[in-house]
Amino acid sequence: MLSKRHRIQFPQLEAHDLDQNEVYFYLIGEKGRKRKIRFHDYDKIYKIPGLYEQIFYDRLKCNSPTKIVEILQSSIKQSEENMSELRVLDLGAGNGILGEVLSRHGVARIIGADIIPDAQKAMDRDRPHIYDDYYVADFCSLSDEQRESLSSWTFNCLISVAALGFDDIPAKAFVEAFNLIQPKGWVAFNIKESFFNSAKTSDFSGLIHKLIYSEYLSLYHLERYRHRLSIEGEPIYYFAIAAKKNKDIPDDWICNQVGL
């Protein structure tokens, strides 16, 4: 990993009233100049080597890539299948941290995808040998050429970490990726605890609630766990989900469930 350390500072104010995608930090530059960056300004963070890892993994102790791969592996063992047979689509791959965890398990193919061009540049810089291919694409509006190219990998696993439920990957993009997975393939992802709270609904939470109990998915593992710490040092809880896909989600079902 990159050894360069950056001077970062969290704001003094309490961030409890901010949505998770509104929280920010300061990057301290030369002569003490402060640059304000939101946690979800990924394009800005990825441009600075080591900054993403220092904030989310060193300071805030993010555990999600390891947790999601662990529950996926456990679910696969229940079915007497093998991790080595997986052809994985890593949706919202960023600079390749999740791909790196998957590679340790001898996965057959790992394909990354992200909407941010700077994510691929950071991956090429930080983890250039992790992915068999990497797509910079908007899954809400894939071209025929992109869809054909992605389909040629015959994915049997979709995995996504810390990218669902915010504006990063909307419900429509998730369903597009879901439908690229072969029937009886695996789906593993995490979602913020509050998105399971019926008092706070969104397109994505509505989709997940319906999908878990639908004919399109068979649930294998659902676990509440600590995703990472907040800037106040308090635990932020997510749900980890591993399931088996039964069949594609039709367009009319999507529209009925989430109003797309």
Residue 200 has pLDDT above 90, yes or no: no
The contacts of residue 193 (CB under 8 Å, 6+ apart) are 224, 236, 237, 238, 239
- Do residues 254 and 171 make contact, with C-beta atoms less than 8 angstroms apart? yes
Instruction: Give the domains, in start order, of the chain with CATH numbers.
Output: 7-59 (no CATH), 64-258 (3.40.50.150)
| C-alpha–C-alpha distance, residues 221 and 75, integer Å | 7
Work out the average pLDDT over 220-249.
94
Confidence of residue 199 (pLDDT cuts 50, 70, 90): very low
- Residue pLDDT, tens place only, 38-96: 998 999 999 999 999 999 999 999 999 999 999 999 999 999 999 999 999 999 999 99
| Residues 6 or more apart whose Cβ sits within 8 Å of residue 57 | 97
- In terms of average pLDDT, the best of 19-28, 87-96, 170-179 is 87-96
In sequence order, what are the residues at sequence separation of 6 or more whose Cβ sits closer than 8 angstroms to the Cβ of residue 19? none
Least Cα distance to 1 among 53, 67, 66 occurs for 53
User: pLDDT category, 208, cuts 50, 70, 90?
Assistant: confident
Match 């079902």 to its residue by tokens: 253
